[in-house]
């Protein structure tokens, strides 16, 4: 069978399942008693096993199988959830991940996992009464066989006072609409309980692909007799036999692989039908989704960008033509395309969860290596960000987290001496605010040692002695982001390899974001990252400097103003204005950009007040054109480092306007 | 067959230059160029080339030939080398010919004021002398930084 066409799907889904297992195992670590988590893991592992077996990756399948056995033992309370068990599970997961990666890279997914398999088997056999199980296999009384998952549901329901019944229903020989009768029986039963399994499968029943009798497994609170009576009310029923599913004959049922697979599918089917009553199984995924190749979304985005440019052009034309009909149409079109823009942008949004997901594992591992106790709290994992940003933000966050664990959180002994909880906490927060997404990494560790930072900065020649005396706390912390800075006394392989926070800062700035840090000695440090919601379309203010048009991102504008020439003051050879009680330096764009002069300057000077962090500057321009949505375009590979220009855009008239990088203009 | 190469011929001052046709994406008439502030003088700015912002280089200035007013014959040759795409302003672009690779000779030390560094070779066809440009070197962005550094020193 030709499998290559399924390979991509297989790889994608395997990764998802592995991620899910990873997460759940971490949860399990926190609450080892929670059997529903084990079920969740089991389900993912089971699907993974099925998929890899189908695709012919035997090693993958057999390792998953061993994992499954251990999970099953946990589920049946044969072995407790201990750190040793979790470690082996994590090791197996690492193996599985490596295999999937290898397959993705074109390998055959083979890997020597005999040791891990041995570990798993050892765990499984630890104290499990396996022989007792096998002996019972032969005298099974159950008509149907159940897979692990179904068994679990039955057992749990029994605990909650449900009866688990097996119904064997036969229809009259002369029954014409068998499917209709089956449907009616289903209806009757679903009023009082729940069907967890049918034999033959539901779709076979619906297609009337059975003789005259079928079996149902039902969970209900009603008695056997009551059910029997109710079913007999459906006409053309020949007979109903009811027997109870007992715990013994459940355990006795040894299940063939194929039936097992089938069973899972059925359960899922039923689950969807009766989600509201299914309490024991967790969410089966909400809403319908389809997978779309990201390239197509990118294409859609590109096409839409073209449309935005044409929209700008149309708006301009309609303004100059002053035809009310045209105006109206263009306005409506603008509105529709505005909505369209929102939809397209949200389509590209992905929850940061995708990035955050891998952190708990990482933090756990790191903390263990360093002998520290760290608890990672993730808040706002459902915050959404443009996919392009998501792809890029992972590494900087890893770096910051490592930093927090390595430098921030102290050793348990130091912490208890300082009367802190031995376990340090790192908060990873994500939230929306305006047109930005904020990601914060906060730890309750030692905080930044200002003196140490200064010494290091002096040592590395980043600042001079005189400068060091006048630095505010904030400025001092900013030094962390200077290139070639690393304060760790000992260079560990976790952080402090010289490629410090400056790399993080550059990365975030290249995404159009910014990063800041604040710290209180003894109480912890907080890194705060601000990111734009989307990279490709943004709101700008268009201004004119002589004959040239420039775009200033709205996100950095505080306000615009027109000031009189007399209001310009001079301080230390620097022109400043008094802006709402603050002294703001004037930046004459004409001089900075060496714009060829054509117009006389008037008595009134339009300025755009922009900010970078808490610093401000007033940019002197010649006139304001207005606010506009623009599509961000890069200047290409040739012009990589242009001063104070972050990109370009195409205006309605087809000309290129440059986008100002206010950060570079504020010193 | 394999020994022939199609080249586009353009004029700069009194010389004729050639670039391989596979590097040329299109030839455009002069149009509005958006100036980019504080960059080297030979980068004239950027244009909107069917939705792509494309940097424009004045080849005269690039090679240190005196600047001249643009005329009706002035053309922008859009070239792409590797990941870099740029437009070159030339005095005129007038010909496409098949060049026999055997007729290409290594460059002499100085040709028409252009540093030999940027020249791949020269070809003599009948009475015309064609200078083959090394586009990779002409479009090397590192030159930008060097030039900028020099300017900021002055």
- Here the CATH number for the domain that contains residue B37 is 2.40.50.180
Domain that holds residue B64: 4-153
Confidence check: pLDDT of B73 > 60: yes
Contact across the interface for A641 and B54, Cβ inside 8 Å: no
- Burial letters for A80-113: b for 16+ Cβ neighbours within 10 Å, e otherwise? ebeeebbebbbebbebbbebbebbbeeeebebeb
Interacting residues of A182 by C-beta distance below 8 A, sequence separation 6+: A205, A206, A214
Contact across the interface for B36 and A642, Cβ inside 8 Å: yes
**Token output for A631:** 């599509």
- Give contacts of B36 with chain A, Cβ < 8 Å: 635, 639, 642, 645, 658
Query: Which chain B residue shows the shortest CA-CA distance from A590?
Result: B37
Average pLDDT over residues A275-288: 45
Contact across the interface for A650 and B53, Cβ inside 8 Å: yes
> How does residue B115 score in pLDDT terms, banded at 50, 70 and 90?
low
- DSSP character string of A268-316: HHHHHHTTTT--SS-----S------HHHHHHHHHHHHHHHHHHHHHHH
Of the listed A17, A46, A95, A399, which one is catalytic?
A: A46
Q: How confident is the model at residue A270, as a pLDDT?
A: 45
Task: Report yes or no: A516 and A501 within 8 Å, Cβ to Cβ.
Answer: no
Q: What are the φ/ψ torsions at residue A433 (nearest 5 degrees)?
A: -155, 115
Q: How confident is the model at residue A266, as a pLDDT?
A: 43
Q: How confident is the model at residue B87, as a pLDDT?
A: 93
Q: What are the φ/ψ torsions at residue A319 (nearest 5 degrees)?
A: -65, -40
Contact across the interface for A655 and B48, Cβ inside 8 Å: yes
Q: Which of A638, A640, A649 to mutate to test the interface with B (most CBs of B within 10 A)?
A: A638
- Give contacts of A643 with chain B, Cβ < 8 Å: 37-39
- Give contacts of A650 with chain B, Cβ < 8 Å: 48, 51, 53
pLDDT in tens, B123-138: 888 888 888 888 888 8
| pLDDT > 70: percent of chain A | 85
Count of pairs with CB atoms under 8 A, one residue in A, one in B: 79
Query: Which chain A residue shows the shortest CA-CA distance from B145?
Result: A641
**How far is it, in rounded angstroms, from Cα A75 to Cα A43?**
12
Q: What are the φ/ψ torsions at residue A419 (nearest 5 degrees)?
A: 55, 35
> How does residue A60 score in pLDDT terms, banded at 50, 70 and 90?
confident
- Give contacts of B40 with chain A, Cβ < 8 Å: none
**How far is it, in rounded angstroms, from Cα A519 to Cα A450?**
9
Q: How confident is the model at residue A541, as a pLDDT?
A: 92
CA distances from A75 to A32, A126, A240, B69 (A): 11, 14, 34, 84
Q: Which of B25, B32, B33, B34 to mutate to test the interface with A (most CBs of A within 10 A)?
A: B34
Contact across the interface for A638 and B32, Cβ inside 8 Å: no
**Token output for A456:** 């290091």
Contact across the interface for B53 and A309, Cβ inside 8 Å: no
Of the listed A39, A251, A270, A403, which one is catalytic?
A: A403
**How far is it, in rounded angstroms, from Cα A117 to Cα A91?**
10
Range from A12-16, A77-81, A129-133 carrying the lowest mean pLDDT: A129-133
CA distances from A419 to A405, A444, A450, A557 (A): 19, 12, 22, 45
Active site residue A466: no
Task: Report yes or no: A418 and A522 within 8 Å, Cβ to Cβ.
Answer: yes
Nearest CA-CA partner of A150 in A164, A133, A171: A164
> How does residue A464 score in pLDDT terms, banded at 50, 70 and 90?
confident
Q: How confident is the model at residue A607, as a pLDDT?
A: 92
Task: Report yes or no: A220 and A192 within 8 Å, Cβ to Cβ.
Answer: yes
Task: Report yes or no: A74 and A85 within 8 Å, Cβ to Cβ.
Answer: yes
**Token output for A468:** 């060091």
Please give the tally of structural domains in chain B: 1
**How far is it, in rounded angstroms, from Cα A499 to Cα A496?**
7
The residue whose two tokens read 């808040």 is A379
Average pLDDT over residues A258-276: 43
- Give contacts of A641 with chain B, Cβ < 8 Å: 145
pLDDT in tens, A392-437: 888 888 888 888 888 888 888 888 888 888 888 899 999 887 667 8
Q: How confident is the model at residue A283, as a pLDDT?
A: 42
Average pLDDT over residues A334-338: 87
More confident call, A238 vs A656? A656
Nearest CA-CA partner of B138 in B86, B99, B103: B86
CA distances from A603 to A291, A363, A520, A565 (A): 59, 61, 49, 6
pLDDT in tens, A307-324: 887 888 888 888 888 888
**How far is it, in rounded angstroms, from Cα A635 to Cα A648?**
6
Mean of per-residue pLDDT scores for chain A: 77
Query: Which chain A residue shows the shortest CA-CA distance from B44?
Result: A639
Active site residue A46: yes
**How far is it, in rounded angstroms, from Cα A113 to Cα A121?**
12
DSSP state of A556: G
Nearest CA-CA partner of A166 in A150, A183, A184, A149: A150
Distance from CA of A7 to the nearest CA of B (A): 31
Query: Which chain B residue shows the shortest CA-CA distance from A304?
Result: B51
Contact across the interface for A656 and B144, Cβ inside 8 Å: no
**How far is it, in rounded angstroms, from Cα B73 to Cα A335?**
44
- Give contacts of B85 with chain A, Cβ < 8 Å: 636-638
pLDDT in tens, A122-155: 877 764 433 333 333 333 344 556 666 677 777 7
Distance from CA of A400 to the nearest CA of B (A): 32
Q: How confident is the model at residue A491, as a pLDDT?
A: 44
Active site residue A95: no
pLDDT in tens, A224-263: 778 778 777 777 777 788 877 776 666 554 443 344 444 4
Q: How confident is the model at residue A139, as a pLDDT?
A: 38
**Token output for A549:** 């048009």
Give me the count of residues in chain B: 154
- Give contacts of A644 with chain B, Cβ < 8 Å: 37-38
Contact across the interface for B34 and A641, Cβ inside 8 Å: no
Residues of A with CB under 8 A from a CB of B: 305-306, 309, 548, 592-595, 633-645, 648, 650, 654-658
């Amino acid at each position: 069978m030709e499998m290559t066409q399924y390979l991509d799907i297989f790889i994608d889904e395997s990764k998802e399942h592995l991620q899910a297992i990873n997460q759940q195992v971490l949860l399990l670590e926190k609450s080892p008693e929670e059997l529903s988590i084990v079920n969740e893991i089991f389900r993912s592992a089971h699907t993974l096993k099925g998929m890899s077996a189908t695709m012919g990756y035997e090693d993958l399948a057999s390792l998953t199988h061993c994992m499954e056995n251990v999970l099953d033992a946990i589920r049946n309370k044969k072995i407790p959830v201990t750190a040793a068990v979790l470690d082996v599970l994590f090791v197996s997961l690492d193996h599985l991940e490596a295999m999937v990666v290898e397959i993705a890279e074109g390998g055959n997914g083979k890997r020597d996992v005999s040791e891990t398999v041995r570990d798993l088997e050892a765990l499984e056999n630890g104290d499990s009464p396996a022989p007792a199980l096998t002996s019972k296999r032969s005298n099974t009384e159950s008509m149907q066989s159940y897979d692990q998952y179904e068994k679990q549901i039955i057992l749990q329901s029994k605990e909650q006072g449900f009866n688990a019944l097996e119904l064997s229903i036969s229809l009259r020989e002369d029954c014409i609409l068998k499917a209709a009768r089956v449907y009616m029986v289903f209806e009757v039963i679903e009023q009082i309980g729940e069907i967890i399994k049918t034999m033959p499968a539901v779709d076979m029943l619906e297609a009337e692909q059975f003789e005259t009798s079928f079996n149902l497994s039902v969970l209900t609170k009603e008695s056997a007799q009551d059910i029997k009576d109710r079913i007999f009310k459906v006409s053309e029923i020949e007979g109903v036999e009811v027997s109870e599913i007992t715990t013994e004959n459940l355990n006795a049922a040894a299940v063939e692989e194929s039936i097992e697979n089938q069973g899972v599918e059925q359960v899922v089917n039923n689950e969807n039908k009766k989600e509201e009553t299914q309490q024991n199984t967790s969410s089966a995924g909400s809403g319908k989704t389809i997978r779309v190749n990201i390239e197509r979304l990118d294409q859609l985005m590109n096409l839409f960008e073209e449309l935005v440019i044409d929209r700008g052009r149309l708006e301009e034309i309609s303004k100059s033509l002053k035809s009310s009909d045209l105006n109206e149409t263009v306005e409506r079109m603008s509105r529709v395309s505005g909505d369209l823009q929102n939809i397209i942008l949200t389509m590209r949004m992905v929850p940061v969860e995708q990035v955050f997901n891998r952190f708990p594992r990482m933090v756990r591992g790191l903390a263990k290596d360093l002998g520290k106790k760290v608890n990672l709290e993730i808040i706002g994992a459902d915050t959404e960000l443009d996919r392009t940003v998501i792809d890029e933000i992972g590494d900087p966050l890893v770096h910051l987290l490592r930093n927090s664990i390595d430098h921030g959180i102290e050793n348990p002994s130091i912490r208890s001496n300082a009367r802190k909880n031995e376990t340090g906490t790192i908060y990873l927060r994500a939230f929306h605010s305006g047109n930005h997404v904020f990601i914060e990494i906060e730890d309750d560790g030692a905080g930044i040692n200002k003196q140490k930072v200064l010494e290091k900065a002096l040592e590395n020649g980043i600042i001079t002695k005189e400068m060091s005396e006048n630095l505010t706390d904030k400025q001092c912390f900013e030094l962390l982001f200077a290139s070639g800075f690393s304060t760790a006394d000992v260079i560990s392989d976790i952080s402090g390899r010289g490629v410090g926070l400056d790399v993080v800062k550059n990365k975030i700035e290249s995404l159009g974001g910014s990063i800041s840090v604040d710290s209180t000695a003894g109480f912890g440090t907080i890194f705060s990252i601000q990111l734009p919601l989307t990279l490709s379309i943004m709101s700008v203010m268009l201004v004119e400097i002589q004959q040239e048009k420039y775009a200033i991102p709205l996100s950095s504008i505080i306000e615009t103003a027109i000031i009189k020439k007399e209001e310009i003051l001079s301080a230390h050879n620097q022109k400043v204005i008094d802006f709402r009680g603050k002294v703001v330096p004037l930046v004459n764009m004409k001089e900075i950009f060496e714009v060829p002069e054509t117009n006389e300057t008037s008595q009134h000077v339009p300025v755009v007040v922009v900010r970078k962090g808490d610093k401000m500057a007033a940019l002197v321009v010649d006139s304001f054109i207005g606010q506009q949505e623009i599509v961000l375009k890069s200047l290409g590979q040739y012009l990589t480092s242009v001063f104070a220009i972050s990109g370009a855009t195409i205006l309605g008239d087809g000309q290129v306007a440059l986008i100002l990088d206010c950060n570079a203009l504020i010193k | 067959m394999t020994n022939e190469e199609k080249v586009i011929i353009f004029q700069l001052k009194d010389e004729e230059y050639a670039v391989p046709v596979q590097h040329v994406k299109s030839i455009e008439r002069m149009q509005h160029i958006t100036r980019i502030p504080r960059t080297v003088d030979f980068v004239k700015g950027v244009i909107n080339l069917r939705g792509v912002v494309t940097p424009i280089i004045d080849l005269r200035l690039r090679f240190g030939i005196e600047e001249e007013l643009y005329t009706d014959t002035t053309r922008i040759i859009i070239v792409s080398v590797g990941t870099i795409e740029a437009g070159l302003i030339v005095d005129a672009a007038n010909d496409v010919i098949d060049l026999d690779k055997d007729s290409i000779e290594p460059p002499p030390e100085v040709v028409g004021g252009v540093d030999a560094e940027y020249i791949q070779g020269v070809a003599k066809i009948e009475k015309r002398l064609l200078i083959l440009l090394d586009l990779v070197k002409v479009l090397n962005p590192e030159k930008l930084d060097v030039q900028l550094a020099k300017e900021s020193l002055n």
